Amino acid sequence: MKVTVDGVPTVARPGQTVAAALIERGQTSWRDTRIGGRPRGLFCGIGVCFDCLVVVNGVPDVRACQRVLADGDEIRTQRGAEL
């Protein structure tokens, strides 16, 4: 299964969440906060904390730990508050 992460082609396994794929490729953060610009990645891992937000196929505010990857998904770092 092929997806892109910030434009870079990446291989992912079916059933993998966005967060699992990102951590597996060695990435620990994929968002920065809107006030302090602090890097954020996985925290609660079960959909509660909303820290792992990421842009999927152009839509921001997707929980990386909950979203299961689909073939062709475009994953992008979320910069603060995005529309």
Binding site for another protein (CB under 8 A): 15-17, 19-20, 23-24, 28-29, 33-36, 38-51, 53, 56, 59, 61-63, 65-68, 70, 80-83
**Nearest CB to another protein, comparing residues 2 and 68:** 68
Q: DSSP strand E in the chain: where?
A: 2-5, 8-11, 31-32, 39-40, 53-56, 59-63, 74-76, 78-79
| Shortest reach from residue 2's CB to another protein, in Å | 17
| Shortest reach from residue 77's CB to another protein, in Å | 12
Residue 2 CB neighbours (<10 A): 11
